Amino acid sequence: MHRENKTSVQKRLNRIEGQVRGLSKMIAEDRYCIDVITQIAAVQAALRKVEEEILKDHVAHCVEGAIASGDAEEQRRKVAELMEVFGRSRA
């Protein structure tokens, strides 16, 4: 991962960690269910954004590198990895 992307992702994950701790506190304080669900949705959206950033970085480096290498087997492997990730994210 490029350093700037890694820094950005780490910052996002730190914020998400805080959000999850906040969710735990909300449960402990018997907060209104809809407020808790709203915060869960926010955490899920934040995680999707992290996933998107990491995927973009992967395509820009690993997949692009496989294409540039001319190694057909490596290209197939990288495409198969992407297909597997997309399949899991749709489930």
Q: Which CATH number fits domain 3-90: 2.170.150.70, 1.20.58.1000, 3.90.1150.10, 3.40.50.720?
A: 1.20.58.1000
pLDDT for the residue numbered 56:
92
Q: Please report the pLDDT score of residue 9 as a whole number.
A: 96
Q: Which amino acid is it at 81?
A: E
Strands (E), the chain: none
Integer Cα distance of 31 and 43 in angstroms = 17
**Which sequence spans correspond to the domains of the chain?**
3-90
* Residue 90 scores a pLDDT above 80: no
- Report yes or no on whether pTM surpasses 0.75: yes
The pLDDT score that the predictor gives to residue 4 is 87
Q: Which two tokens stand for residue 81?
A: 């990895």
Query: Measured at the alpha carbon of residue 59, what is the angle toward residues 56 and 60, in degrees to the nearest 5?
Result: 85
CA-CA distance, 8 to 79, in Å (whole number)? Answer: 26
Residues sharing a CB contact under 8 Å with residue 67, sequence separation 6 or more, in sequence order: 75, 78
The structure tokens 């290209």 sit at: 75
What is the predicted pLDDT for the residue at 28? 97
**pLDDT, tens digit (0-9, with 9 covering 90-100), for 37-80:** 999 999 999 999 999 999 999 999 889 999 999 999 999 999 99
Please give the average per-residue pLDDT across 17-36, as a whole number.
98
CA separation for the pair 64, 85 (Å, rounded): 17
